[in-house]
Amino acid sequence: MKKATFKLVILAITLVVLFVLSFRYYGDWLWFQNLGYESVFETMLWARLATFAFFFLLFAIVAFVNIAIARRNGRFIRSFYSTGANQPKVLNIAGDSKFSGYVWTLYLLIFSLMMGLGTMNFWELFLKYIHATPFGVNDPVFGKDAGFYVFKLPVYLFLKGWYLTSMFIIIAGVLFSYATDKAIAMKGGKPVLHPRASIHLAVLTGFYLLGVAWSYLLKQYQVMFSTKGVAFGASYTDIHALVPGYRIMMILVLIVALLLMIMPWLKKWKPVIYAAIAYVVVWVVMILILPGAMKQYIVKPNELEKEKPYIINNINLTRKAYGVDKIQEKPFPADQSITWSDIQSNRNTIENIRLWDSRPLIQTYKQLQEIRLYYDFKSVDIDRYPFQKYNQVALAARELPASQIPGRARTWVNIHLMFTHGYGVVMNPVNKVTPNGMPEFVIKNIPPQSEVPLQIKQPQIYYGEEMNEYVIAHTTMKEFDYPKGDKNVYTTYSGTGGVQLKNVLRRLVFAWTFSDIKILISGYITRDSRMMFHREITDRDKKIAPFLMYDGDPYLVLGEDGKIYWIHDAYTTTSMFPYSEPVRQNLSEKGVNYIRNSVKVVIDAYNGSVTYYVIDPSDPLVRTFSNIYPRLFKPIQEMPDFLKSHIRYPSDLFTIQNAIYNIYHMTNPQVFYNQEDLWNVPTEIYQESEQRMAPYYITMKLPEGDSEEFILMLPLTPSRKDNMVAWMCARCDAGHYGDLIVYSLPKEKLIYGPMQIEARINQKPDISSELTLWGQKGSRVIRGNLLIIPINHSFLYVEPVYLQSEQSQMPELKRVIVSFKDRTEMKESLDDALRAVFAPAEAGAGSIYTNISPQVETAPETPEKPSDKASEALQYYNRALEYLKHEDWAGYGKELEKMRKVLEEMAGEKKK
């Protein structure tokens, strides 16, 4: 092959690669530009290119120099052997060296590309290293700021790995070069290196060992993440055996490396051999033997005493890493002394008790409000809106995912041009029920009909939780907007979302990107058409800021401006916070050991605009990212007030913090060591099966609060016990947002936990028999979420019961169970159940709960004395009929029994 031809081939391959990459990156740049984040894209792109170029050139230069030296030495060796009188037998590996120049060029090109491309995904490490922000928290062993471990140590570990890999490849290449140049001779049946080759390889091996020495230096810092002790982080054995061992090993490796590097002048192998033997001996003693022996004979006999300082380190830094050190711990008497008057005085709390569990509610939404088969509700969100008063509501977006379009209608035009968006939302108060057990909608139907002071002016949803197909809006093909009777209403997009396809180049780019030639040739597309992709909100914000972790539950907000928004909680995380116990959640497969909810992401459902608001500017990670991307983040003060009022504490973060606090509320090292006071998340019954209770949003007045507020809470139980030991909450409303409180219950009292209440429900004959009877009539009984409601230093337990036909997927709310102290009652409405629990005589003041379902008027337990027995019997008969009307079989039986006794008395008097 001629050199010119070879160069042309390389140039052609390079141009093809650049052409493909330019198409890909140009399409992405257009998308970022449409959102106003082209600077973010350019920062990430240039960081990738700079990282690749630096390591590509670094490897290429070092490898080229060493290969050049090896080839020059090889030519000398070949000439030496070719003139010798007694030329020894050589290992001829390469054969004809006619193409050696091409071979070494390909070697340099291929491995330089490998070592460059392999670094491109680590560009973020270097940006964070350059813009590192101190944490202000030092590790207690080496005195390093936590920022060293989060921002710098990962870079050092990466560079160490890259350096050792590069040196290994270069040494292998040099060795191959010497072999092909006949520098390996056979003497006495053994291969022997020429002195020039052996010195070159010795120096390179010395440089390789410098990397090994560096790895031992870094290993001592990695003990901050050790799992060998009783707590996560450096233990007694790590500090007193491994760290000294690593330091000694580093010194010995440095000695061997320096001896090898001065081999051109030393020219003696014995010092190197002695140093290498010392290295092996020390490695066996200090790394293999000593740590195990120290742990077995020094630590374990006195484990608590030896490990106590390191347990304290783990407790303190873990609590800081997850923010649980800021949890306020307060006592909660749990005196269980509330009365009917307390129920009345906490009317706002009672009227916001969530009777509609989001799990059966989503099925009801689908049956009642999807309207057409191509619509879908992905999830139900819980929020609060100040209509006439503070109301807790459930709401969901009516989306139109491509998967819902019937098979025969799944044409390219329908999927990408016509069925482009969902339409409207549904909303219902969490406590309101119609007489037939359905949710009482305050926003419903298509077009949206609102019964509250909240109007949806822009109901189209182009960006949502299920929008996973690209669409092209504003084409000559009218877009389906919503159904209207036997006809459909059509529309044309008028927003700013998507990339405008104003020229053929852009259409070509996206045709290439999506492997769809129709984008280029379709006659429906004009220069005003807009290409919308990354429409799924969990993908959209992650595409812009992939360095953040995101909550699994983005939620819907209806703005005062008539628009629909999504709020998505974003987290800054790391797995490199010293001494902090890692947790594994959906946020990250590898686990994290530091987390902050520093960013709130707001996405416009119509235009697709994405705004990142910093809610925790004290977080060092978000400050670092703000330095890297100065145009990405905005302060929370710039968020519109109507959106601020809907900020809530994220459930994923709360779950993680709760998991940590269940262990790390034990701040006494001895208690922690013995795990004496380990807490757990309780279980509950849902659909007749036991499952772990999830945190739930409720509206209530905290013991120290002046009025009701929106909180996220979860009861807690001791490990392997069912009684409640505490409850944890996060405040969501402005002024106290993010405050975490744990209310500890008296240890001398038995406070029922969720499963104990569930057991009491199962053991109550009238309740269990009625639920069993329902389940035998072709219906399925669904027991909803058990809510524990703190009221005035007492707990009220509420569980809704739904009935679902086997032929239908539409659960109906049929009963509400209320439990307090030793009383448990199941009634048709919450008001009835509360009255039954808090004694009819005391509850005679009137209903506090309206618009639920017909109430069963409960007469006094002891009837007034009638003028005659017949009047008394008639009272019992009428009340029995009332109970029968509402299918309260227990009450019906009691009234019949009382009537029977009166009639018997009347019969006895007649005989007399």
Residues 136-145 have pLDDT tens digits of 999 999 999 9
Give mean pLDDT, residues 290-300.
93
Give mean pLDDT, residues 737-756.
94
Residues 364-411 have pLDDT tens digits of 999 999 989 899 999 999 999 988 788 999 999 999 999 999 988 999
Residues 548-580 have pLDDT tens digits of 999 999 999 999 999 999 999 999 999 999 999
| Residue-level pLDDT at 10 | 64
Residues 588-634 have pLDDT tens digits of 556 899 999 999 999 999 999 999 999 999 999 999 999 999 999 99
Residues 764-821 have pLDDT tens digits of 988 988 888 887 767 889 999 999 999 999 999 999 999 998 777 889 999 999 999 9
| Residue-level pLDDT at 3 | 58
Residue 73 has pLDDT above 60, yes or no: yes
| Residue-level pLDDT at 895 | 76
Residue 456 has pLDDT above 90, yes or no: yes
H/E stretch holding 530: strand 530-532
User: In this structure, what is the dihedral angle of CA atoms 495, 497, 499, 501, given to the nearest 10 degrees?
Assistant: -30
Site of tokens 């706002």: 348
SS (H, E, C) 340-385: HHHHHHCHHHHCCCCCCCHHHHHHHHHHHHCCCCCCECCCCEEEEE
587 vs 472: which has the higher pLDDT: 472
Measured distance CA(692)–CA(427) in Å, rounded: 27
| Residue-level pLDDT at 481 | 95
Give mean pLDDT, residues 421-445.
95
Contacts of 190 (CB under 8 A, 6+ apart): none
Residue 883 has pLDDT above 70, yes or no: no
| Residue-level pLDDT at 18 | 67
| Residue-level pLDDT at 567 | 97
Q: Please tell me the total number of residues recorded for the chain in this structure.
A: 912
Residue 858's pLDDT band, with cuts at 50, 70 and 90, is very low
Residue 417 has pLDDT above 50, yes or no: yes
Distances (CA, A) of 507 to 25, 27, 575, 690: 14, 10, 42, 54
Contacts of 618 (CB under 8 A, 6+ apart): none
Residues 624-671 have pLDDT tens digits of 999 999 999 999 999 999 999 999 999 999 999 999 999 999 999 999
Work out whether strand 594-604 and strand 564-574 pair parallel, antiparallel, or are unpaired.
antiparallel
- Kindly report which listed range (3-12, 249-258, 337-346, 690-699) carries the lowest average pLDDT score: 3-12
| Residue-level pLDDT at 93 | 38
Residue 672's pLDDT band, with cuts at 50, 70 and 90, is very high
| Residue-level pLDDT at 909 | 58
DSSP 281-315: HHIIIIIIIHHHHHIIIIIGGGHHHHHHHHHHHHH
Residue 843's pLDDT band, with cuts at 50, 70 and 90, is very low
- Kindly report which listed range (204-218, 324-338, 342-356, 882-896) carries the lowest average pLDDT score: 882-896
Residue 485 has pLDDT above 60, yes or no: yes
DSSP state of 587: T
| Residue-level pLDDT at 641 | 94
Query: Within 10 Å of residue 372's Cβ, how many Cβ atoms?
Result: 14
| Residue-level pLDDT at 184 | 67
Residue 306 has pLDDT above 60, yes or no: yes
| Residue-level pLDDT at 106 | 84
Residues 331-365 have pLDDT tens digits of 999 999 999 999 999 999 999 999 999 999 999 99
| Residue-level pLDDT at 78 | 67
Segments of 732-851 assigned E as strands: 740-744, 779-783, 787-791, 794-805, 812-820, 823-827
**Share of residues in the chain with pLDDT > 70 (%):** 88
Residue 718 has pLDDT above 90, yes or no: yes
| Residue-level pLDDT at 847 | 40
Give mean pLDDT, residues 150-159.
97
Q: Quote the tokens at residue 77.
A: 């060796």
CA atoms within 13 A on the CB side of 318: 28
Q: Quote the tokens at residue 416.
A: 């990408």
| Residue-level pLDDT at 839 | 67
Measured distance CA(829)–CA(440) in Å, rounded: 14
Rounded to 10°, the helix 153-180/123-130 angle is 130
Residue 270 has pLDDT above 90, yes or no: no
Q: Quote the tokens at residue 596.
A: 């902050």
Mean pLDDT, the chain, whole residue set = 88
| Residue-level pLDDT at 882 | 65
Residues 78-128 have pLDDT tens digits of 665 555 544 444 444 343 455 677 778 888 999 999 999 999 999 999 999
Residue 879's pLDDT band, with cuts at 50, 70 and 90, is confident
| Residue-level pLDDT at 198 | 84
902 vs 127: which has the higher pLDDT: 127
Asked if 571 contacts 653 with a C-beta cutoff of 8 angstroms, the reply is yes
| Residue-level pLDDT at 183 | 66
Measured distance CA(793)–CA(147) in Å, rounded: 43
DSSP state of 416: I
Measured distance CA(365)–CA(640) in Å, rounded: 30
| Residue-level pLDDT at 621 | 98
Residue 264 has pLDDT above 80, yes or no: no
| Helix/strand/coil for 202 | helix
| Residue-level pLDDT at 845 | 43
Backbone angles phi, psi at 498, to 5 degrees: 85, 165
| Residue-level pLDDT at 864 | 40
Q: Quote the tokens at residue 489.
A: 């209403």
Distances (CA, A) of 219 to 207, 214, 614, 885: 19, 9, 35, 76
